[in-house]
Structure 1
């Protein structure tokens, strides 16, 4: 995995938690999310109708339905819980910390669902990453303030939503071009959040300039940057590699939140950052060629000239 690409992904994905904090100060979660996706969906729709029409050739209604479901899980379900948790008073760093448990869930499911082998070294790295997350989580809980205890459970719903979207996309018969998937995902989120905002009578945007600054931040950095790079790295390097980078989101967001909002960042948070970095290095070193299962081998097409005579096996008798 390209180091610069990974670094860009970590920074832009972490920017989403900061943008959510910026928007939470001037409007409700559904208002911010509606105006984040509605104009973007219109622009992407116009681009699809003019500049990227060729990318849509051969895309079936079933493909669109699958991508709409992926978008509903990975954007709508994930972001709504993140924004709602921050609105309830959970700090941006703590929200990112809870999402940091995603690699363990994804790594555990990659084998049985996708047939992707996770080596022992990678499991050590994943465990190391969870340790780093636990260290920073302990520091943040110590400064929890008056936030209700159940508010810390909300981001877990978003984490599972993103994991479900990831595996749903990876099990698709064929992958969609980024121009297609991004447009469908954003259009789905725009429809969901607009409906929620209208139902809550929160569709009118506030007049504060800070609201539109947050919207521009979220569209440029979080959607095109973080969200786009997530699917790009996922298709280039696999579930385990991209999800391991999630271990870095929590400490990076905690540091960012400390600089911008004065959120606490102490020695334990710094230690968690160091452990998270070590976890990424261990998993990258432990990357191994996937071991194809019998089902994968049976489904693999045989190319011309690749047939080999069956090897004689001695029975030992």
Structure 2
């Protein structure tokens, strides 16, 4: 998402080959951040918006993502979800996984997936479903059994080759600690206020900057003009409601923050390549297809 990196997270796990954790949507870990390690991320509950590199798009329960080193990311749930486990996360270092690949030639099958993850990848629901049980049990395992469970997840996902890239570029460059805090502040402010009227002047005021200066700074920091970033975020929110509710499109348009339906339809078509109605129909067709596949098994 940004040429200026967001908040840095140090991952310390000296006693294990990888870090595993589970947390809720209210965790302090839920923020726009990056780290040196890969992150294999399962969304267990809630719907919302994924921010990965310069990608913004919806996530749903059962979604599995793999983010490469230095790639900024965050998952923001819609609604007031404050209890229970939302995320199961595995962090592992490139140094260790590459050492393993050198020792075990069979592990070279992971290389393509790991390279693609530098841009962030999301796995299909089918591929994700095949590893959910391992995600759930790995926390209770120790020693070799824990490592083997992790390798089983990685192998299953790599063999499926059923994923798609998200960000248009990788983010493997040096961090700017001063700017990352400012980016984090303003992005979080936009996320939490995007469904109401949100002027450039108001957002610039969050950092105490003049609107014209802020506009140039924001474009350099995120790769988007402010209005384009805000529009993409609102379209992402609209997609979430189109997918999981049967509310009228007009209501969804206004709730997402658009002032009129014509403007909403125009931006939706430009970003998604189809109208809101066509998007909803495509979701329904996909659902019927999946149901048919399940019944045929």
Place the TM-score, normalised by the shorter chain, in its bin: under 0.3
> TM-score under structure 1 normalisation?
0.24
Q: Which is bigger in relative contact order (C-alpha 8 A, separation at least 6)? A: 1
> TM-score under structure 2 normalisation?
0.25
Q: Where is the helix percentage greater, Structure 1 or Structure 2? A: 1
Q: Which has the larger radius of gyration?
A: 1
